[in-house]
Every structure is written in structure tokens, then in C-alpha cells.
Amino acid sequence: MNLASIRVITHDVDRLVRFYETVTRTVAIRPAPVFAEIRTAQGTLAIANAITVAMLGGQAPKPASNNTIVIEFLVANVDTEFARLQTELDDIVLEPTTMPWGNRSALFRDPDGNLVNIFSRPTP
């Protein structure tokens, strides 16, 4: 079994697509107006409108209500990427910081409030 993607459910696909295209410098693939994929070498972030899960009724994911998942992107230099993105970010949670385990991380929220971590691993 292989992980295919992580899907974020939203009411505003276009807004989240623009945000993640900026973060990743990757153009989304848009097979339908209600769905997009940001494909990277290591995985895919799918972004879908709430109508794509409506058939699940009361069990459907609720947009902009995540409090358990962190979307993480491995980058070469956290400080450089954070500087590039800073003016695009409305909710910075943690400016670039070296974590106790050695990773360098910066955390912020996307327009729906999902937590995003850009990080780099320590140099051996």
C-alpha cells in the first residue's frame, strides 16, 4: 500500500490552490473546478470542495475545522523560504526556530486555518 495523497476539504478551492501554489512553487493540476492536486516528488496535496464529500452526510469532513493535522514540507533552507513567504502569511505560528531534535521549522496557518510546517533536517 502506498500513500497517494492528503486531501484538504474547503469551501474555497481557488483560494487554497493559490496559497499552496505560492508555498510550493508548483502549479496545481485542476481536473475539475472542485478539485486540485499539488504534486511534489514525495507526495500529493489534494484540495477539494466540500461538495466532493457531501455523499458522506454527517460523517463528511468539515472545512476549516482541522485541529489535528500538520501539513509538512521539507525545504532546503527554512529561513530563505520563510522570508519569501512571510508577506503572504496571515497567521504565523512560529518563526524559524531550531527544534530540540535538530530540525529547523517555521509554522503558519493556511487560509482555512490548517497548520503548515516548513522544515529542514539538520546537516550531518
> CA 50, 52, 54, 60 torsion: positive or negative?
negative
> Which residues, in sequence order, are bridge partners of residue 72?
117
pLDDT digits (tens, 9 = 90+) for 37-70: 999 999 999 999 999 999 999 998 999 988 899 9
Note whether residue 89 is domain-resident. Answer: yes
Instruction: State how many domains the chain has.
Output: 1
Instruction: Read off the pLDDT of residues 67-110 as tens digits, 9 standing for 90 and up.
Output: 899 999 999 999 999 999 999 999 999 999 999 999 999 999 99
Query: Which pairing describes strands 29-32 and 70-74: parallel, antiparallel, or unpaired?
Result: unpaired
- In which domain, by residue range, is 81 found? 6-120
Sheet containing strand 29-32, edge to edge, reads 6-10, 44-49, 35-39, 29-32
In a domain, 1, yes or no: no
46, part of any domain: yes
Domain presence at residue 29? yes
CATH of residue 62: 3.10.180.10
